[in-house]
Copies of this chain bind each other. A is one copy, B any other.
């Protein structure tokens, strides 16, 4: 047998995510997907982006093509900092904002910067699988704290923090996968627990701008600025394909975060940062977001109606006030893997909820109502209805 180079332990430690694999499955002919977290193609501000690209290249043809500094394009960072101050209640300057290749890269950077193998880390249960996969490479011991309708279970979090974990990863707004948000009371108690604890909280705000009735609560970063890194992204609003994400970091870790990003990829791409900045300068972003929110709220309405119409009474689901996901439950004690497989036979892709859990969750499924067209929603839900009625008859 030939000698090949042995992998590092990180390769064994890195969990499977399934998510990107399902993108490929979903692309097969005839397939309808409720599985992934893709924004609706029809809601992109395509014409305005085409104008922004043209303007950026006309005014300074070489600039967007050239290298920039590691932390990114300063005018875009200034815009994000001002939005932090005006909308998120976070007292940030552009120097606190570090641009990344989507917010997934933030999770990798923070894992790399803080996790030695065996360190403790708190994650939500269920929690966002893509981020957890990213952290898993650095070999932490994960502790799961349950997330319900009001957000994280505070007593469980307090117990978990008593074991000195390094990081706590959370999505307080319209969580992926459950769609749930932290209540105001939970936010206050979590901030009190995290402040000065020595555990850095990662507040993933990917869906924060997609509250259909506006933002659903104060940011954790505004309540515990030195103990929270807020991560953001234009992937759910402007374009995921451009990979423009960022993190707002406390000053005490700024220099290290910059050096770490430089070591990992030099910088995120100048071209898309300048295009996004131009788009933000030339358009009313709040007006654009309003359109997006209305669009997704309407999608959700259609989706929920189709669920009512097609799914048997044995199934349960929620009605989130933002984001892109509905959390579906088959009866307690059942394993929704069968539902996933049955749906595939019907050429429908759904995302099993189990992989988002460190414990439990076998009977859960994540449904994305944002990506499919209205026609696909109706046809997909007929397929899902057939599978559910067969597996979980009333």
Contact = CB atoms under 8 A, between A and B. Distances in A.
Interface of A: 2-11, 14-17, 19-20, 23-24, 36, 38-39, 41-42, 44, 46, 49-50, 53-54, 57-58, 61-70, 101-102, 104-105, 108, 112-116, 119, 130, 133-134, 136-138, 166-167, 196-200, 226, 238-243, 252-253, 256, 259-260, 262-272
A54 B54 CA distance: 8
A243 B42 CA distance: 27
Contacts of A54: 50, 53-54
Given A11-B260, A17-B262, A243-B266, 5 more contacts: A65-B241, A66-B240, A67-B240, A108-B264, A133-B263
Which 3 residue pairs are nearest across A and B when measured between Cβ atoms?
A241-B270, A41-B62, A65-B239
B101 A269 contact: yes
A198 B5 contact: yes
Given A5-B167, A44-B61, A260-B14, A112 B137 contact: yes
Contacts of A14: 259-260, 263
Interface centre among A17, A102, A197, A262 (most CB of B within 10 A): A262
Contacts of A3: 196-198
Nearest to A275: B271
Nearest to A238: B65
A9 to B, nearest CB: 6
A65 to B, nearest CB: 4
A289 to B, nearest CB: 16
A226 B149 CA distance: 52
A19 B258 CA distance: 13
Given A4-B252, A54-B54, A134 B264 contact: yes
B61 A137 contact: no
Contacts of A23: 67-69
Contacts of A63: 241
Given A46-B65, A166-B5, A267 B252 contact: no
A225 to B, nearest CB: 12
A269 to B, nearest CB: 4
A264 B272 CA distance: 19
A7 B268 contact: no
B11 A256 contact: yes
Contact of A113 (B10, B58, B108): B10
Contact of A49 (B49, B57, B113): B57
A16 to B, nearest CB: 7
Contacts of A268: 101, 243
Nearest to A105: B265
Nearest to A37: B67
B44 A50 contact: no
Given A16-B259, A36-B67, A259-B16, A265 B101 contact: yes
Contacts of A264: 104-105, 108, 134, 137, 264
Given A4-B252, A262-B133, A242 B269 contact: yes
A215 to B, nearest CB: 25
Contact of A114 (B7, B105, B167, B263): B7
Contacts of A253: 4, 7
